[in-house]
Amino acid sequence: MPLAADPAAAVTLEDVRAAARLLEGIAVRTPLMNLPALADQAGVPVALKCEQLQPVGAFKIRGAYNAVARVAGAGAAAGVVTQSSGNHGQAVAFAARAFGLRAVVVMPASTPLVKVDGVRRHGGEVIFAGAVRSLEQQQRAEEIAWEEGLTMIPPFDHPDVVAGQGTVGLEILEQQPEVDTVLVPVSGGGLLAGISVALAGIKPSVRLVAVEPAGAAKLSAALAAGEPRTLERAESMADGLLTRSIGSFTFPILRRMVREVVQVTEAEIGEAVRFLHRQAGLRVEPSGAVTTAAILAGRVRLGGPTVAVVSGGNVDPDLFHRLAE
């Protein structure tokens, strides 16, 4: 899908539906899990959209596979390269292997070992450079793309990636047509932008709430400024949400469609990981638990049936043990 002059109009509902057709048999149609204990806390029915059940343990397979499939279909690339703090890298490696393409993933040295091992398990080559989504990391990925003739697959700032992530929104509406509110974690904005396109195209009355760590509140900063702003630092146990800026492609979509952003603290994220483990037996990474954290902490008042997107489950075993036990 080519980039459009107006990013806010660059991804359409039909693009999301086309991605859904392409992903049939690849991405899992993840279930909605009703959690009575969370509903009791919220005062309304609450269901979890369990994206940790995807083949790579996170929603990222949707956007990465959609983008890599289009690269493979063009037939000119020797392989693909990306920068990632973990889940996107695993998804790109998974998709590239499916199409017989080489995959190189540039990761920060601080990446949890479980995510590094995941990239390698799916056939990806790992190169360490810079901090999470830093300029150094991005430049190294761009150098590799140029020097080795590989195609860049951005983590979030690309229409094919956004369209793939939007299939989460399609499934939510098909599984729970009466949904009133959807809570979505936000990092660079690919998942949130994709879901917003799906909801706006089918049921625009749905209330969409973005959730971010208080220590990495890049969407709040961007909406306040009217444009993406780079935070001086981003700190959180939610390593998948540590992007320091909303994407330049995703922001116009989010600015048009997202009206609410809430922030959760580290203590609230940790409590949510523990709650999901004890109440539902779920192994969820901190990034995937922020939507549950927002509900448990009362950061958002809910007025009807709600879906909280659980974005992934690739968590460092030691961290999970400390949080859950």
Q: What is the pLDDT of residue 81?
A: 94
The CATH-assigned architecture of domain 7-58+160-324 is 3-Layer(aba) Sandwich (3.40)
The model's pLDDT over 239-251, given as tens digits with 9 standing for 90+, comes to 999 989 999 999 9
Does pLDDT of 31 surpass 80? yes
| The token pair that represents 104 in the structure block | 């190189």
Give me the amino acid identity at 146: W
The model's pLDDT over 69-86, given as tens digits with 9 standing for 90+, comes to 999 988 767 899 999 878
Sequence-distant (≥ 6) Cβ neighbours of residue 220 within 8 angstroms? 212, 261, 263
Q: What is the pLDDT of residue 129?
A: 83
Does pLDDT of 8 surpass 60? no
Q: Do domains 7-58+160-324 and 60-158 have the same CATH topology?
A: yes
- Residue 225: count of CB within 10 angstroms of its CB: 9
Beta bridge partners of 309: 49
Domain residue extents for the chain: 7-58+160-324, 60-158
CA dist., res. 107 & res. 102, Å (int): 16
- β strands within the chain, DSSP E: 32-34, 46-50, 79-83, 102-107, 125-128, 151-152, 181-185, 207-213, 260-264, 306-310
CATH 3.40.630.30 describes domain 60-158 = no
Phi and psi angles of residue 24, each rounded to the nearest 5 degrees, phi first = -60, 125
- What confidence tier does 132 reach under pLDDT thresholds 50, 70, 90? low
Least confident of 56-65, 75-84, 310-319: 75-84
Q: Cα 8–11–17 angle (5° rounding)?
A: 150
Residues belonging to the active site? 60, 311
- Residue 262: count of CB within 10 angstroms of its CB: 21
Q: pTM, whole model, 2 decimals? A: 0.93
Find the mean pLDDT for residues 48-62.
96
Mean of the per-residue pLDDT values of the chain? 92
DSSP conformation letters of 38-84: HHHHHTS-EEEEEGGGSTTSBTHHHHHHHHHHHHHHHT--SEEEEE-
Does pLDDT of 268 surpass 70? yes
Does pLDDT of 9 surpass 70? no
CA dist., res. 278 & res. 257, Å (int): 35
The model's pLDDT over 184-210, given as tens digits with 9 standing for 90+, comes to 999 999 999 999 999 999 999 999 999
CA dist., res. 276 & res. 274, Å (int): 6
Q: What is the pLDDT of residue 84?
A: 85
Strand bridging mode 46-50 / 306-310: parallel
